[in-house]
Structure 1
């Protein structure tokens, strides 16, 4: 249809912008603002010529470097009061004189709309298949409850019949200014519109028109927006720590798009994500997972599923994804782009691995929990080993505490995987000092109220540290024993592997801690000297740096391939 039609895109860009000085040349996400509209137009399958009309030599230079031709406009057409109609008409006439031919369709493409897509431009052009159509303009759905003002009666009035939710209101369109396409004979010095007009509706993102610094900020964030797939599981056996971390990450990625991917065999994970209101998909096996990933097209794939295989991570890399893993001691960690492990130490020679408390992400509830105030008396103890507690350290610690003359309250929180709950309740139900809970949603409150905590060397020790409660730690397994953060230097009494700890050792440490106010105060101060509130920022900083390298390497490989071709 368009083979016999000459199509010209005119990009008006004067140098004297007021709201944001020199905005057409300023770097938006590391590229001149004007480059976006030029690249969109040049990528169109229909556009024949792209011309920038300007009064500015620097704009002309940059425009030519990005592949556009340039026409100069007069001073009269460059002042603050100049309208676009005569500017576009002048550019069209100049180009036609150079081409010794007339164009059929002339399109105004504003450089202040950098987020418009080539697909949208092509859609606008394709509408001219209707030979009765004169012009096409880009619009955005702007329906809302609006009000007008009656100057004669000096009163306000509603522009609607009855109040309703926005989505129930009739569509109301606002011009975005990004695209105005018209047949050539309607391009006059005082108008660019015919009488039969159609629209092309664009998204909120594409509708951004940069007039203010707030618009610039919005466009910059849209351009930096990434699609992030979070592959994560949760179950009674592995607990909810992994999914809690991913939810905490997702809550902070407000400028990015996230999709949770959960194995259908982990029903607890499915239930938690379903209740979170984030977008999610359930996969059956790895083949199904890759099918979903290919349809979604993420920039970054995050795995919080413990140890990964070389085959799985290799497949992700072959698909071109940037891969971030958490708590991965598997073979796959060696070929992931970045691995974070706040709990367990890796081989420090591995350049892609970042370990330690700096990369722990506190759950939101701990950001607003005040520090514990250490008092002389110990009136409340919390026992919380989480997970399955395979060696039943919970019962061992309760019995140890009851073997002393401590007569305060004991709060006990067991994990979803704990199998002896009924027996535990039956054993201690006659003791009014003991309260047993499962799957609490406000653990920060329990921690804050405790004077001493017994726990294992899992992520809870960081949460405890952020509040500053003296803690005795018994490791659940050999893997937890490698968690070097759990030391007296950081405010913890670490008794080592729980299954080999003698009951008397627990009793002795507990009695000593209860009776030694000064020791509890020192442990408290050591904990609070460690800043745990910037884990997400530290992770983001690493990912952004490594992602830049990843993108640069992709561009370099593409350039090398093109050179060979």
Structure 2
């Protein structure tokens, strides 16, 4: 809504055609629009000005100005040279209008990130403070600096302190320059009373070089991204790890996490990663997401409902989901299922191992070397291991592994019950495995643990991708029927998949372990198949898929404020 104001104001945007640093700068396309369009649009949307005029000597600039909604003042050639000051150009434009204004604003076309809201606030400030003759946009940029004085380099400060303790240092940005009309002359726009109006560092960027151009392009492509993610001991924290990976890749954007406040460990993980986040009751999460006004919402909560997805879409939000087999999957803009294949061939659903987001610790770890003897077996089922496959594996292999002189590391998930661990330890104390087994919790580097292994027994969850990235021969035991739907964990990809743990006999498990321990060439073939998949580029592949699909769906128009 336009600001109610008693003042009549003119905005003048000086835009000549003779840019040398960046050819055709003022009409060069920036993120899908001519550079000039951004300043014209901000001025018009602010509602502060009776007229918005572009002063130019260039016919194409004049055309773009008119197409953008501005009036055009054709300046004379003698006002288009490099040596001509802005004072004369602005005075000429004011005189050319032939009417009286109380305030004249100089707006630079090279400040495309200036927001309409900021202009409104600046205009209100000069309106509400009639003693101010001139109001200049500035950015507070205090820093330690040095100057030359009488041939010597001396500090331009009295005390060397951290930047946050330095006094304000206001640097002109050129984004806007508001003057009372009486102060506008051929040689000046300053009055006796000058004030400054602080704007954000982003809005202060003035495009003068190609480096400035690249920076502004990044800002214009930046989007508000809301990540809604679940994580707890019963379901594990793989969703949290994946979304943190993706957030780290999205540093160009404004990322905000939304979590169920009852999932305290998940909230703590996001807090400790220093990302902005909102933790709220589960029933309020959709309304909180909508109130945040994101451009993109990413849902990593397993199955979504059609209702929650449609609520987001109806607000014009681009919706992405992960590992989603729920009714909402049919209504998202994009669904990425590294673990599952959809039963219906939706065009917007992308499935398979190519979309697995590998953690950095595995990305930077090289594959293992397959040895003739299996010296070290790692058993891990993550999460809470609800059917206690850890204990059943230990019992089934208790006699065989010591005979082979094979060390065993048991890595327990965060949710593994204390009573189950007590039972496990009691069994080990009296079994042949006593002295051969190490039990670990809270492992900081799973990559290091797997790198040291010759064979792994694990579930059919995300861990199998990490194991495959290192080429570690592995036996998979599904903890539930949902894991049975994971498409990657099969022999063609190098795994020995023994199916659902509750239906697996100890005899089959023992026979499989014995066979792999005895057959070095079989383990080499397993590694060869595992390493045929490119996991190390999966995260980048997922990020590009999200952003490319977003831009294709929504276009590249800038949101203005």
SS of 1:185's equivalent in the other structure is helix
- Name the count of aligned residue pairs: 548
In the alignment, structure 1 residue 421 sits paired with structure 2 residue 424: no
| d(CA) in 2 for partners of 1:370, 1:147 | 48
Q: Which residue of structure 2 aligns with residue 561 of structure 1?
A: none
Question: What is the CA–CA distance in structure 2 between the aligned matches of 1:23 and 1:429, rounded to whole Å?
Answer: 77
Per-residue CA deviations over 1:410-452 (Å, capped at 9, x if unaligned) read 1111112222112112322572221111232211110111111
Q: Secondary structure at the match of 1:457?
A: coil
Following TM superposition, by how much is the alpha carbon of 1:283 offset from its aligned partner in structure 2, in angstroms? 0.6
SS at match of 1:200: strand
Residue 202 of structure 2 corresponds to 205
2:31, 2:556 within 8 Å by CA — same for their partners in 1?
no
Distance 1:166 1:381, change over 3 A: same
After TM superposition, the score normalised by the length of structure 2 is: 0.93
Give the corresponding residue for 1:368: 364
Name which of 498, 513, 517 aligns with 1:514: 517
- Secondary structure in structure 2 of the residue aligned to 1:481: helix
Change (3 A) 1:448 1:175: same
The separation in 1 between residues aligned to 2:183 and 2:111, in whole angstroms, is 23
CA distance in 2, matches of 1:401, 1:12: 81
Task: Indicate whether 1:300 and 2:296 are aligned.
Answer: yes
Matched, 1:350 2:343: no
Aligned counterpart, 1:144: 143
* 1:345/1:356 contact within 8 Å kept: yes
Per-residue Cα deviation, 1:127-149 (whole angstroms, up to 9, x for no partner) = 23222211111000101222223
Aligned pairs (5 A) from 1:116-155 = 116-129=114-127, 130-152=129-151, 154=152
Contact persistence 1:458–1:480 (CA under 8 A): yes
Q: 1:560 matched to which residue of 2?
A: none
Q: Aligned in 2, Cα 1:553/1:39: closer, same or farther, shift over 3 Å?
A: closer
Summarize the Cα distance change of 1:472–1:2 in structure 2 as closer, same or farther, 3 Å threshold.
Answer: closer
**How well do the aligned residues superpose, as a CA RMSD in angstroms?**
2.0
The aligned counterpart of 2:273 is: 276
Map Cα deviations across residues 49-104 of structure 1 (whole Å, 9 max, x no partner).
Answer: 111111222111111111111122233322223221111122222222xxxx2222
Kept in 2: contact 1:120–1:200 (CA 8 A): no
**CA distances 1:230-261 after superposition (whole Å, capped 9, x unpaired):** 11121110111111111111111111111111
Relative to structure 1, the CA distance from residue 39 to residue 246 in structure 2 (aligned partners, 3 Å threshold; closer, same or farther) is same
Q: Contact (CA 8 Å) 1:226, 1:299: kept in 2 or not?
A: yes
Q: Report the 3-state secondary structure (helix = DSSP H, G, I; strand = E; otherwise coil) of the residue aligned with 2:46.
A: coil
- Residue segments in structure 2 that go unaligned for 5+ positions in a row: none
1:16-74 CA distance string (max 9 Å, x none): 21221111111111111110001011112220111111122211111111111112223
Question: Deviation at 1:291?
Answer: 4.3
User: Residue 77 of structure 1 corresponds to which residue in structure 2?
Assistant: 79
Match of 2:310 in 1: 314
Measure, in 1, the Cα distance between the counterparts of 2:24 and 2:190: 29
Q: For residue 2 of structure 1, report the CA deviation from its aligned partner.
A: 7.0
Q: Where does structure 1 differ by over 6 angstroms across 4 or more consecutive aligned residues?
A: none
Distance 1:292 1:275 in 2: 22
Kept in 1, the 8 Å contact 2:32–2:556? The answer is no
Tell me if 1:28 matches 2:46.
no
Does 1:489 pair with 2:492?
yes
SS state of the match for residue 205, structure 1? coil
**What are the residue-to-residue correspondences of 1:356-435 with 2, within 5 Å?**
356-404=352-400, 405-419=403-417, 420-429=420-429, 431-435=434-438
Asked if 2 retains the 8 angstrom alpha-carbon contact of 1:270 and 1:282, the reply is yes
Q: Which has the higher contact order (CA 8 A, sep 6+)?
A: 2
Q: What residue number does 2:64 align with?
A: 62
Does structure 1 residue 328 correspond to structure 2 residue 324?
yes
